[in-house]
Amino acid sequence: MATRSAGTGVLITLVTFVIATVGLLVLCIVQFSGSEKARTEAKDLRTKLAQQTESGQKLSVLHEAIATQLTGGGDAALDQEKFNTAMTDLGVPSGGSVKSYIDSLKGKLASAEKTSAGLQRQVDELKAQLQPAEATGDGEKPSETASQASASIAQLNEAAEGYRRDLEAVKKSADEVRSNFDQRFSEYKQERDAEVEQLKSSKATLETRLAEANRKLSQFETQPSDPSLMVDGNVISVGGGDGTVFIDLGRSHRVQPGMTFEVFATADQIRTSSEQGLRGKATLQLMKVGDDTSTARVVRSSPGKPVVRGDVLANAVYSPSQRFRFLVHGKFDLDGDGRATTEEANVIRNRIREWGGILAEGDRVTGDLDFVVIGSRPKRPGKPLPDADEAELNAFTEAQNACDLYEKIEREATEARIPVLNLNRFEALTGMTN
């Protein structure tokens, strides 16, 4: 009876051991399945990390393109194709902004960090579950399955930690990109503000010049409010029948022999219109120049309008107090033969120099001009024939360019309120004779 009872106890013990072993095996299988799931998730995280790293590289390319645009490096303008390619590769939708992309990237980073935290909780749970199975029997060493699971968990922990570090690096890189972008934009804005200030300064300078030009122009308006501004000198006496006239201008006033003046009874009669018949009643030419007075002779007169004491003198080029600046353009017909030439234009230039005026070089209308003296209007040529030779085509092009330049100078001078004098007006305001 005692022997039967002992056999029964051994059997119960054996059955219990088998059940415990099977349960432990099932638990290990379950935990191993959890480890495989963790490996799969870690692999997915590595893939996401690689994508984030690639995004960081693409973002760096975009940053370089933006920096090139803002700093002026390389080409003067941003390569639009390169910019669009970088934006597309980075995942920024068409028409999207860098700011919205960075905000989106930060949202993805937050989501990834949340996923990482959840993964860490799973790892902690697995570790807690495996603790009872780390030893078998009475304090024996961990089973091979448990050791493999622990190793997998350690690798998973290491991968998760590396993922977090990479996420921090990507986040830091994104913050640096945004910071650099903000800095470049600030520098760009400062440069544009400086340009605006410079333009304001230039505008103020031009307004000052315009006011000065208006002041000068007012001296030549029809019937100016102060006609005396048009007057350069006066007739102080008239000689005998030889046409000798004495005026109150001499070397101290920078006049010289050969200069001519138009004679008007009063300053109110001085006109600047281009119409014919508005010359003075006579023209004087200086013969002998003294210190403060000069002797002149009448070289042109109007019937019934003799020169008398008190008549006023005018020459638009000459001024006792300042030197005017002139631009002479085009060809002139001084002798009235119907042919305008460059040689006759040079006569105008020489007279201006002799009378104390300053000639501007080139054919540009600048703000420092006082007068533009313009020659005969060139005729615009007809279109060349289809079989025209090279010489005819060159002549056509030259004539077209001459017309365009003439109209451009006339238009710019008018817009700038610079007096434009054709030959008739120039002669009427200077007393010039052929």
Degrees (nearest 5) of the Cα angle 421, 372, 255?
A: 80
Is 229 in the same domain as 274?
yes
CA 27 and chain centroid, separation? 74
DSSP annotation string for 219-252: TTSSS-SSGGGG--EEEEEE-STT-EEEES--GG
Is 264 in the same domain as 182?
no
Give, in order, the Cα–Cα distances in Å from 212 to each of 164, 369, 391.
71, 11, 46
**pLDDT at residue number 276:** 43
Spatial CB neighbours of 212, under 8 Å, sequence gap ≥ 6: none
Spatial CB neighbours of 298, under 8 Å, sequence gap ≥ 6: 243, 245, 282, 283, 284, 307
* Lowest-confidence segment of 52-56, 319-323, 345-349 by average pLDDT: 52-56
Give, in order, the Cα–Cα distances in Å from 234 to each of 237, 294, 296, 298.
9, 11, 12, 14
305, 306, 310, 316 alpha-carbon torsion, rounded to 10° = 70
Is 194 in the same domain as 56?
yes
DSSP 275: S
Q: Is residue 208 part of a domain?
A: no
Position 274 confidence tier, pLDDT thresholds 50, 70, 90: very low
pLDDT in tens, 69-125: 544 454 444 456 666 666 666 566 666 666 676 777 777 777 777 777 777 777 777
Is 243 in the same domain as 151?
no
Pairing label, strands 312-314, 420-421 = unpaired
Q: Is residue 14 part of a domain?
A: no
Q: Is residue 136 part of a domain?
A: yes
Alpha helices, DSSP H, located in 131-143: none
Q: Please state, in angstroms and rounded to a whole number, the distance separating the CA atoms of residues 393 and 415.
A: 33
Pairing label, strands 325-329, 371-374 = parallel
- First CA to last CA across the chain, in angstroms? 164
Q: Please state, in angstroms and rounded to a whole number, the distance separating the CA atoms of residues 423 and 426.
A: 5
Residue 402 in 3-state DSSP? helix
Alpha helices, DSSP H, located in 270-335: none
pLDDT in tens, 239-266: 866 789 999 999 998 888 888 999 999 8
Tell me the two tokens of residue 235: 């007739």
Q: Is residue 275 part of a domain?
A: yes
Return the half-sphere exposure (C-beta side, CA atoms, 13 A cut-off) of residue 209: 14
Which uninterrupted H or E stretch holds 166? helix 144-218
Q: Is residue 161 part of a domain?
A: yes
Give the type of residue at 340. Answer: A
Is 36 in the same domain as 184?
yes
Please say which residue of 265, 286, 315 terminates a domain.
315
**pLDDT at residue number 70:** 42
pLDDT in tens, 389-434: 999 999 999 999 999 999 999 999 989 888 888 888 888 778 776 6
* Lowest-confidence segment of 263-267, 276-280, 331-335 by average pLDDT: 276-280
User: What helix, strand, coil percent values describe the chain, rounded to 5?
Assistant: 55, 10, 30
What is the domain count for the chain?
A: 3
Please say which residue of 294, 315, 336 terminates a domain.
315
- Average pLDDT score over the chain: 77
**CATH code of 252's domain:** 2.40.10.410
Residue 289 domain boundaries? 219-315
- pLDDT of residue 285 exceeding 80, the answer is yes
**pLDDT at residue number 406:** 96
Degrees (nearest 5) of the Cα angle 359, 365, 370?
A: 55
**What φ, ψ does residue 100 adopt, rounded to 5°?**
-65, -35
Is 363 in the same domain as 295?
no
- pLDDT of residue 267 exceeding 90, the answer is no
147/350: higher pLDDT: 350
What's the whole-model pTM score? 0.43
Is 161 in the same domain as 260?
no
Q: Is residue 211 part of a domain?
A: no
Q: Is residue 4 part of a domain?
A: no
% of the chain with per-residue pLDDT over 70? 68
Please say which residue of 315, 340, 360 terminates a domain.
315
Is 290 in the same domain as 401?
no
352/53: higher pLDDT: 352
Give, in order, the Cα–Cα distances in Å from 102 to each of 56, 70, 89.
11, 19, 15
**CATH code of 84's domain:** 1.20.58
Give the type of residue at 263. Answer: V
396/172: higher pLDDT: 396
Is 103 in the same domain as 226?
no
- pLDDT of residue 333 exceeding 90, the answer is yes
Q: Is residue 210 part of a domain?
A: no
- pLDDT of residue 323 exceeding 50, the answer is yes
**pLDDT at residue number 204:** 81
Position 50 confidence tier, pLDDT thresholds 50, 70, 90: low
Is 263 in the same domain as 128?
no
Query: What pairs with residue 374 in β-bridges?
Result: 329
Number of other CB atoms surrounding residue 75 within 10 Å: 10
Is 224 in the same domain as 266?
yes
Q: Please state, in angstroms and rounded to a whole number, the distance separating the CA atoms of residues 49 and 18.
A: 46
Q: Where are the beta strands (DSSP E) in 149-268?
A: 233-238, 244-247, 260-264
**pLDDT at residue number 35:** 61
Is 167 in the same domain as 270?
no
- pLDDT of residue 34 exceeding 80, the answer is no
Q: Which strand ranges, in their side-by-side order, compose the sheet holding 420-421?
A: 358-359, 325-329, 371-374, 420-421
